[in-house]
Amino acid sequence: MKNIRILLVGMCLVACTVCSCATGGIDAAMAILGKTSEGPVFLSCNAVSATEINFQFSQPVMVTSLHFSPAITTEEVKNGSTVQVSFSGGPGPGERLTADLLAEDENGNTINVLVSFRTRNTRIPRVYINELRTEYSNPRAEFIELKTREAGNMGALRVFIASNNRNPLVYEFPSIEVAANEYITLHLRTVEADARDELGSNLAESGGRDSSPTGRDLWIPGATKLLRKTDIVYILDQDDGVVDAVMLSETASPWWDRDYFAETAEFLFRAGAWKSSDGKIGSPADAVRTAGTTNTRTICRDETLAARSGTAADWYITVTSGASPGRLNNPGRYTP
């Protein structure tokens, strides 16, 4: 769907194009330095495997210079409209790389591409959204808690929050090794000095309110509100596939009050990630009702369920003081 605000779309300038790399939603810049206006155009890059990156051009080119940062060992470069680069060693799954590539076509037109992207992650674990706090009370920040189903690497997974319609991408996971059944709390503000990202095996190094000594804590810098009682949260993989999603609404209105909510609801329905109880595109009435949430009454997935239904039936609001970031959800249910 062309209207879904998932990746940053391209923007053309006179001699410089800013576009979005297909592997990570990261802006890429290139400048055409050639002799005529008929020179090659850079289209995209794609990490097709753990050891191969493709650069797509509008016409065949020959690479004359190629450098990566951090440095990696290039084994082979195959020229053409699709430049295939094979490499060995260096980056792990979902690691960020920057490529500086110089190429020319058969007429001598040259093109310089500077693009940032993530390497292919072939070990993404099954993971789902497990708990959310939409309310802020300093220093209690809003959060999105995830839970893994298996061991793997989180690199290149991306978290989106639809209410931030100008830039719904709020977090991109670096290359982090995780265990099965691990709780990962993404804190949506950083307002305490001792809040630290836990990127390695030590899950007790972060301070800050709601940090967990047994769960992994990650923090988004700044103090901007990113999550609201009426909202849609979803996770995409490196191929823009939906990993998990949850729709929230403070009311049971039959219609979304913003076009971007309706567009996202349709996108998630088409992806098989969220639907109404009768199997249709979700409306606010089909979302998790959030009117009773507070900074201690959070929105929780029912962890006793053997399978997800992709509907509001999987969710509940926990009791007062029942928030549990970084650990098993409190089973107590709030009754209005």
Bridge partners, 19 (sequence order): 28
Angle at 219 between CA 215 and CA 221, to 5 degrees: 175
Q: Check residue 37 and give its pLDDT.
A: 56
The structural domains of the chain, with segments of one domain joined by +, span: 11-118, 127-317
Would you call 1 exposed, middle or buried from its count of C-beta atoms within 10 A (0-12, 13-18, 19+)?
exposed
Q: Check residue 92 and give its pLDDT.
A: 86
CATH number of 11-118: 2.60.40.1220
Q: Do domains 11-118 and 127-317 have the same CATH topology?
A: yes
* 336 residues of the chain, pLDDT tens digit each: 334 433 322 222 222 333 333 333 333 333 444 444 589 999 999 999 989 999 999 999 999 999 999 999 999 999 999 999 999 877 889 999 999 999 999 999 999 999 999 999 999 999 999 999 999 999 999 999 999 999 999 999 999 999 999 999 999 999 999 999 999 999 999 999 999 999 999 999 999 999 999 999 999 999 999 999 999 999 999 999 999 999 999 999 999 999 999 999 999 999 999 999 999 999 999 999 999 999 999 999 999 998 899 999 999 999 999 999 999 999 999 998
Q: Check residue 55 and give its pLDDT.
A: 98
CATH number of 127-317: 2.60.40.1260
Q: Check residue 325 and give its pLDDT.
A: 98
What is the Cα–Cα distance from 95 to 328, expressed in whole angstroms?
30
Residue from 64, 23, 60, 62 nearest 45 by CA: 23
What is the Cα–Cα distance from 268 to 150, expressed in whole angstroms?
24
